[in-house]
């Protein structure tokens, strides 16, 4: 049985990370959350008050920032050895990350890192440009999406569970629509469905059901 590379792309709130994590656990693959890497750089830029318009400052920050994903029992994210796993989910980071992810220098660094991490195969990466840019040769590409209403509801419930009640469902729908537009309309590596991707709309599916679909698609290609 050969271990394959799996690319899962799609808009915010489609459940990519939860589904990818669950499917990776079931098939014994490594899960790589590329969105967390963009969030980690954004966290560092906010902390260092880097002006994102200043190309030199952005490059200097990238040269001195190491992003490490630790996978295993608990997935942790580190920036220069500081554990930022929770901090990168804060609204300040979420509000800025689409702008940071649109910067060419940031994408260049992170795409290279992601390709190195995925080189051995037996990996599931989720993001926006995995099937189109990071792993165009992936044996399985999935474009995972859901209606804006379902995606907003999921994100809102997630926030509520974490004890945050600052956003209304309507605000969340608006935020998701704005992020969809920014991620799809940016010049470099916009969110786009690869021509050879399997399109999965999970508006009416549970997390388990979506993971079942992904695991079946993996099994079909492992032989
Ligand atoms: O999946 P997420 O919400 O954690 O992603 C955070 C941001 O990073 C999102 O605005 C899109 C961007 N992103 C990207 O541009 N390319 C990727 N491969 C992954 C995420």
Long-range contacts of 215-219 (CB under 8 A, 24+ apart): 215/23, 215/26, 215/27, 217/140, 217/142, 218/4, 218/6, 218/23, 218/27, 218/29, 218/140, 219/27
Spell out the domain ranges in the chain: 5-221
165 has a pLDDT exceeding 70: no
pTM: 0.91
CATH class of segment(s) 5-221 = alpha beta
**CA pair distance 123, 92, nearest whole angstrom:** 30
Substitution candidate for ligand 1 out of 11, 21, 38 with most atoms within 8 A of CB: 38
The whole-number pLDDT of residue 189 equals: 85
Q: How far is the CA of 132 from the centre of ligand 1 (A)?
A: 14
Place of tokens 């994102």: 52
The whole-number pLDDT of residue 51 equals: 97
138-146 mean pLDDT: 98
Q: Which of 35, 12, 21, 7 is nearest to 147 (CA)?
A: 12
Q: How far is the CA of 222 from the centre of ligand 1 (A)?
A: 28
Atom of ligand 1 nearest to the CA of 9: 18
Q: Is 38 in the pocket of ligand 1 (CB under 6 A)?
A: yes
Q: Is 155 in the pocket of ligand 1 (CB under 6 A)?
A: no
In sequence order, what are the residues at sequence separation of 6 or more whose Cβ sits closer than 8 angstroms to the Cβ of residue 208? 22
Q: Which of 189, 214, 157 is nearest to 29 (CA)?
A: 214
12-26 mean pLDDT: 94
Atom of ligand 1 nearest to the CA of 186: 15
Q: Is 129 in the pocket of ligand 1 (CB under 6 A)?
A: yes
**CA pair distance 67, 70, nearest whole angstrom:** 10
202 has a pLDDT exceeding 80: yes
Model confidence at 75, pLDDT cuts 50, 70, 90, reads confident
Q: How far is the CA of 216 from the centre of ligand 1 (A)?
A: 26
Q: How far is the CA of 114 from the centre of ligand 1 (A)?
A: 13
Tokens of 158: 């997630």
> What pLDDT digit, counting tens, does each position of 92-138 carry?
999 999 999 999 999 999 999 999 999 999 999 999 999 999 999 99
Tokens of 106: 């940031």
């Amino acid at each position: 049985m050969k271990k394959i590379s799996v690319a899962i792309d799609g808009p915010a709130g489609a459940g990519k990370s939860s589904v990818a994590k669950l499917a990776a656990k079931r098939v014994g693959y490594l899960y790589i959350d590329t969105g967390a890497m963009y969030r980690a750089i954004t966290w560092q830029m906010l902390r260092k008050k880097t002006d994102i318009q200043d190309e030199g400052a952005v490059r200097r920050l990238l040269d001195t920032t190491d992003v490490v994903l630790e996978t295993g029992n608990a997935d942790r994210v580190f920036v220069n050895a500081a554990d930022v796993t929770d901090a990168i989910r804060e609204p300040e980071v979420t509000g800025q990350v689409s702008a940071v992810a649109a910067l060419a220098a940031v994408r260049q660094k992170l795409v290279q890192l992601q390709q190195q991490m995925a080189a051995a195969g037996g990996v599931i990466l989720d993001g926006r440009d995995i099937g189109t840019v990071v792993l165009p040769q992936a044996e399985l590409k999935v474009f995972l999406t859901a209606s804006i209403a379902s995606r907003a509801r999921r994100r809102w419930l997630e926030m509520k569970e974490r004890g945050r009640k600052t956003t209304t469902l309507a605000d969340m729908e608006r935020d998701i629509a704005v992020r969809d537009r920014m991620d799809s309309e940016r010049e470099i590596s916009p969110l786009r469905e690869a021509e050879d991707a399997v399109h999965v709309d999970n508006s009416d599916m549970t997390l388990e059901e979506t993971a079942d679909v992904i695991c079946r698609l993996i099994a079909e290609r492992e032989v």
